Structure 1
Amino acid sequence: MPIRPEVTRLSSKGQIVLPGAIRHARQWEAGTEFLVQETPEGVLLKPIAKPGQGTARIEDVAGCLKPRRAQVSLDEMNAAIATEAAKRHARGRY
Structure 2
Amino acid sequence: MQPSHTVMSSKGQVVIPAAIRESLGLRPGQSFQLELTPEGLLLKPVQPEIPETELDDVAGLLKRPGQKARTIAEMDDAIRLGIADNKGRSE
TM-score by length of 1: 0.55
Confirm whether residue 47 of structure 1 aligns to residue 45 of structure 2.
yes
Q: Pairwise CA RMSD of aligned residues?
A: 1.8
Larger radius of gyration: 1
| Mapped partners of 1:31, 1:7: distance in 2 | 22
| Mapped partners of 2:13, 2:57: distance in 1 | 39
Superposed displacement of residue 50, structure 1: 1.5
Superposed displacement of residue 64, structure 1: 3.1
After superposition, the C-alpha distances for 1:1-57 in whole angstroms (9 at most, x for unaligned) are xx2011100100001000000001101000000001111111111111114xxxx45
TM-score by length of 2: 0.57
Identity rate of aligned residues, in percent?
Answer: 37
Misfit runs of 4+, over 4 Å: none
In structure 1, the residue matched to 2:59 is 66
